[in-house]
Structure 1
Amino acid sequence: MGEDKKSLLQEYKLDQDNELRFEVESKGEKVYLTLKNGMAEIFGTEVVKGKTYEFTSGAKVAVYTWQGCTIEVKGKTDVIYTAKETPMVLYSNCHAALEIARTESEKENKRGPITMTVGPSDVGKSTLTRILLNYAVRMGRRPIYVDLDVGQGCISIPGTVGALVVERPASLDEGFSQEAPLVYNFGHKNVDANTKLYNMIVDQLAVTVKERLEVNKKTRHSGVFINTCGWIKGEGYKSILNSGKAFEVDVILVLDQERLYNELVRDMPNYVKIVFLQKSGGVVERSKHVRSEARDQRIRDYFYGTIKNQLYPHSFDVKWSEIKIFKIGAPPLPDSCLPHGMKPKDHLTKLVSLTPNPGILHHLLAVSFAEKEDDDVILSHVAGFVCVSNLDMDRQTITLLSPQPKPLPNNILVLSEIQFMDSH
C-alpha cells in the first residue's frame, strides 16, 4: 500500500523556513516537481512558479521556502519528508556578511572576500558552496567558483581541479554553466595518490585565479568561493592549509567538525575568519558504490551530454607518431641511485614519456596546452579530455573518443589514472 501511495500525485504545504526533502534512487524513475504558489528555492536557485522540473535517479533534492509555499510532487520518491529544522538561516547570514565585505571592497577598490568551505566527506560542502554562489549571483555579482575536490570534479571531470566565473544561478538539472572553465589535470580520484603534485597544481590554479581577479573589476569585488575535498587528517589537513595559503583566503567555513575548526583557529593567521557551521539534516552519506557511479556519470556527461543537452562525441584514429603521451610520476629510486642533491620525493612530479601500450586502454588522457615537454606539461591547464577506446599494435594507431572532431588541439597528452568504459 505504502509503495503505491508514494507514486501518486502529492501536494505539500510548507510553512516559512521549512524544507521539503526527497530522494530518487530507483533506476529509470522520474519525479516531477511544480511550485503551485508562494516562493521556493533549491540550493539557492529560485524555483519558477508553474514550471515543472524533472528529477531522475540519484537526485537528492531540498526545496526550501523563506515565506511558505505549496509544492506538487508527482512520481515515486524513495524518501520524502518536510523538515522544520534547517541551517538555511545560518547560511543566509554567511551570505549577508560576505555581501557586506563585497560592498566594502567596492568602496575601497580592493579584492572581495575569498571563502573556502572545508569539512569531512558528505557534510554538504558542495551544496553550501553552490548556495552561496547562487545568492551572490542573484545580487548581481560575478564570483569565481574554484573546485579542489578531485573525487567528484564538479567543474570538469573527476581527477581535476578547476575554476569558473559564475554569471548566472545554477540550473537545477545541469548545475553551473560550464563556459570556458580553467581546468588542471591531477589524474587521480584521491588527493593522497600524490599530495606533492596536488599541492603544486593547487598553487598554480591559485596564481591563475588571482591573475583573473586583477583583470576583471566586477569579479575582483565579487570574490572567490572554494570547495575542498573531504580528506581532513594528516596530509589532507596540510593540503587544506596549503590551499588556504595559496588562495590567501579571508574566510573559512567549517562544516560539522569542531576539531577541524579548532585546528584551523590554531594554525591559520589571525586575520582569517573561521566560522563553524552545522551541516543540514538532509545531507546523505554516500557509499563507495554511489560515489563511483557518480564519477562515471560525470565522465559520461562530459562525452555524451545529459538528457536535456545531448552531445555526440567523435571517434577517430591517431598515429602514435603524431602524439606524445606522458605520465606524471616515476617509480621511486633507492637513495643510493639518486643523483647528488636530488630528493627521493622528486620522482612524484617527474614527467615520464610513455609508448602506447595496452595498459592505457580505457584511460582518460588530458589534452595539454603546454608548448614544450618540460615542467610546462605538469603545470599547464588542459584543453579537455579524450578516452583511449582502442589500440592497434600492428598499425601503431590509437582510437580516441573525443568531444570534438579531429585534429586534436595539441599533440601533448597526459595520462590520467581515471578510466571510462564506454558503454554507448
Structure 2
Amino acid sequence: MAEDKGEGKEDYKLEANSELRFEVEAGATVQLELAEGKAEIFGTELTTNRKCTFLAGAKVAVYTWHGCHIKLSGRTDVAYISKDTPMTIYVNTHQALEQMRHIAEEHVTRGPRVLVVGPTDVGKSTLCHLLLNYAVACGHSPVFVDIDVGQNDIAIPGTLGAMVVERPADVEEGFSLTAPLVFHYGHNSPAQNPTLFNILVSKLGEIINTKCNEIKKSNYSGVIINTGGWVRGTGYDAIKHAAGAFEVDVVIVLDQERLYNELKRDMPGFVKVILLPKSGGVVERNRNIRTEFRDQKVREYFYGTRNSLFPHTFEVPFAEVKIFKIGAPSLPASCLPLGMKTGDNKTKVVPVTIGPTVQHHIMSISSASSVDHNILEANSLGFIIITGIDMEKQKFTVLSPSPRPLPKSILLMSDIQFMDIE
C-alpha cells in the first residue's frame, strides 16, 4: 500500500514479514485495533480486539510475522505498509543473546552485556526495547540501562538510570518504572560535562555489578545499555569508557560503518562488535522536536502519560533546603590553586543562592543525608520544579509528585528548565 495521510478510519491488511508505520498528527489521537492475526509493537505482542490509543506525535511501527488485519481510527500525518524491515536481523540478534543466556545459566556465569551505539535517530532506543521485550517473553529479567541524558527512557532528561525489566512494555505506557536507580547529571548532552558523565557511568557500572552478583536471574539475563548519539571525539571516548565500565561483551552499532570499524579496532578481542541496519521507519528529529520531547518527558513525570497523575503544589522555606550545582566555570591554569587540575572544576559542588535565577529549573532531590556525604555519586530520590519565589517570606513554591515534606534537604539544580502551564 502506498504512503497516505489517514483522515478517519482505515483498514490495513498486512502480509507476512511486513510492517505498518504511522505517525499521529499534532493535536490528534489515533486508536489502533488488531482485528485478526498476530502482530507486535517493538516486541510487545498486541491483543486481538483491544483498542490502543496513541497520542499526538507518536511514531509507531506494527510488525507481523504471519500476516494480520489492523484498524486505525484517527488522524495520522503518515501511514503506510513496508516490507523493507530489518526485523529478521533483529530477531536473529536476540536469538544469539538468548544462547549466551542459556550458557550463562547452565554454567552459573554472567549473561550478555550489550551496548547499543550509533548516531542520533537510528533507532537505538527502539532496538533496546525490542531486545528487552523478547528477553522478558523468554522468562528472563534483564537490566535496562539508559545513559542517553538528552532523551532518557527511564527518567527525565538530564539523568542516567537503570532498572530491572520483569514484564513486557505496555503498548501505550511503556515499561513499568518500578523503583529505578537514577543519577543526577543536570545537562542534556554528555559534552557539557564529560568528566561528571564518565564518573556517573562508572558508578552505575559498579552498582550493576553488585546487584547482578546478588540477583542471579538478572545476572544471567544480562544488561542492555542504551546510549546517546554523540559518537565523535570525546563522545567516542565516552562510548569506550561505558564499554569498560559496564564490562560489555557485545557492542551493537546501528547504521554507521565508520563507528563499527573504529570499535572493532579499539575493543578488546573478547568483545563482539556487530553492525546492524536501522529500520526504514526511523524518523530524523530536529532540535525543536527534541526540545518538545524533553518537555513531554518532564510533564509525564508529574502528570502521567495521559494526565492521570495529580502533582502537589506547596511552599518550602529557604532555610529547609540547600541547593547545589555540580560543576564550576573553567579557569585558566594560572588562576588555579597549587596542585589543582583544570578538570577538577567539573566535579566541584557549588552552592546556589536561592533567588529568581533558580525558578523553573528542574531540581533533583539527592539521597545524600548531609553536605559531607558524597553528593556527586548519590542517587536521586525524585524531582521537583520551583514554580515561584517569595523573597519577602523567604519561601519558594514547588511542583512535586508527592505531598510535603520533601524527603531530603539537599537539592541539585539542573540546567534543564520546564514551564508548567497546567
Q: TM-score, normalised by structure 2?
A: 0.98
**Contact conserved, 2:5 with 2:79, CA < 8 A, in 1?**
no
**In structure 2, what is the equivalent of residue 100 of structure 1?**
99
**In structure 2, what is the equivalent of residue 208 of structure 1?**
207
**In structure 1, what is the equivalent of residue 254 of structure 2?**
255
Deviations 1:120-152 (A, max 9, x none): 000000000000000000001000000000001
**In structure 1, what is the equivalent of residue 9 of structure 2?**
9
User: CA offset at residue 3 of structure 1?
Assistant: 12
**In structure 1, what is the equivalent of residue 21 of structure 2?**
21
SS at match of 1:72: strand
Deviations 1:82-108 (A, max 9, x none): 101100000000000000000000011
**Percent of aligned pairs with the same amino acid:** 53
User: CA offset at residue 394 of structure 1?
Assistant: 1.4
Equivalent residues in 2 for 1:28-47, closer than 5 Å: 29-47=28-46
**In structure 1, what is the equivalent of residue 320 of structure 2?**
322
Measure, in 2, the Cα distance between the counterparts of 1:9 and 1:24. Answer: 13
**Contact conserved, 1:150 with 1:158, CA < 8 A, in 2?**
yes
Q: Which amino acid aligns with 1:183?
A: V
SS at match of 1:283: coil
Measure, in 1, the Cα distance between the counterparts of 2:373 and 2:339. Answer: 19
Equivalent residues in 2 for 1:314-353, closer than 5 Å: 314-353=312-351
When residues 4 and 195 of structure 1 are mapped into structure 2, their CA distance, relative to the original with a 3 A threshold, is closer
SS at match of 1:404: coil
**In structure 2, what is the equivalent of residue 117 of structure 1?**
116
Where does structure 2 lack aligned partners over 5 or more consecutive residues? Answer: none
**Contact conserved, 2:316 with 2:396, CA < 8 A, in 1?**
yes
Q: Which amino acid aligns with 2:252?
A: L
User: CA offset at residue 357 of structure 1?
Assistant: 1.5
Mapped pair 1:279 → 2:278: yes
Deviations 1:218-248 (A, max 9, x none): 1111000000000000000000000000000
What is the count of residue pairs matched by the alignment?
Answer: 421
User: CA offset at residue 339 of structure 1?
Assistant: 2.0
**In structure 2, what is the equivalent of residue 220 of structure 1?**
219
Measure, in 1, the Cα distance between the counterparts of 2:29 and 2:397. Answer: 36
SS at match of 2:72: strand
Runs of 4+ in 1 over 3 A off after TM superposition: 2-5
Q: Which amino acid aligns with 2:24?
A: V
**Contact conserved, 1:232 with 1:260, CA < 8 A, in 2?**
yes
Q: Which amino acid aligns with 2:49?
A: G
Moved more, 283-292 or 372-381: 372-381
Q: Which amino acid aligns with 1:395?
A: K
**In structure 1, what is the equivalent of residue 367 of structure 2?**
369
Deviations 1:169-213 (A, max 9, x none): 111111100000000010001111100010011111111111111
**In structure 2, what is the equivalent of residue 406 of structure 1?**
404
**Contact conserved, 2:25 with 2:75, CA < 8 A, in 1?**
no
Measure, in 2, the Cα distance between the counterparts of 1:9 and 1:337. Answer: 68
**In structure 1, what is the equivalent of residue 193 of structure 2?**
194
Equivalent residues in 2 for 1:67-146, closer than 5 Å: 67-146=66-145
Measure, in 1, the Cα distance between the counterparts of 2:269 and 2:341. Answer: 34
**Contact conserved, 2:34 with 2:47, CA < 8 A, in 1?**
yes
**Contact conserved, 2:115 with 2:248, CA < 8 A, in 1?**
yes
**Contact conserved, 1:121 with 1:231, CA < 8 A, in 2?**
yes
Deviations 1:344-397 (A, max 9, x none): 110010001112011111001100001232461111110010101111111111
Measure, in 1, the Cα distance between the counterparts of 2:39 and 2:4. Answer: 27
Measure, in 1, the Cα distance between the counterparts of 2:3 and 2:133. Answer: 35
Q: TM-score, normalised by structure 1?
A: 0.97
Measure, in 2, the Cα distance between the counterparts of 1:272 and 1:246. Answer: 13
SS at match of 1:78: strand
Q: Which amino acid aligns with 1:184?
A: F
User: CA offset at residue 306 of structure 1?
Assistant: 2.1
**Contact conserved, 1:150 with 1:190, CA < 8 A, in 2?**
yes
Candidates 415, 418, 421, aligned match of 2:419: 421
Q: Which amino acid aligns with 1:155?
A: I
**Contact conserved, 1:35 with 1:51, CA < 8 A, in 2?**
yes
**Contact conserved, 1:351 with 1:374, CA < 8 A, in 2?**
no
**Contact conserved, 1:115 with 1:250, CA < 8 A, in 2?**
yes
User: CA offset at residue 296 of structure 1?
Assistant: 0.3
Q: Which amino acid aligns with 1:51?
A: R
**Contact conserved, 2:4 with 2:80, CA < 8 A, in 1?**
no
Deviations 1:42-94 (A, max 9, x none): 00000101111111211111000011111111222111111011000000000
Moved more, 367-376 or 112-121: 367-376
Q: Which amino acid aligns with 1:298?
A: K
User: CA offset at residue 37 of structure 1?
Assistant: 1.1
Deviations 1:293-334 (A, max 9, x none): 111010001011121x61111111111111111111112233
**Contact conserved, 2:123 with 2:279, CA < 8 A, in 1?**
yes
**In structure 1, what is the equivalent of residue 380 of structure 2?**
382
Equivalent residues in 2 for 1:222-241, closer than 5 Å: 222-241=221-240
When residues 33 and 211 of structure 1 are mapped into structure 2, their CA distance, relative to the original with a 3 A threshold, is same
**In structure 2, what is the equivalent of residue 354 of structure 1?**
352
**In structure 1, what is the equivalent of residue 157 of structure 2?**
158
SS at match of 1:6: coil
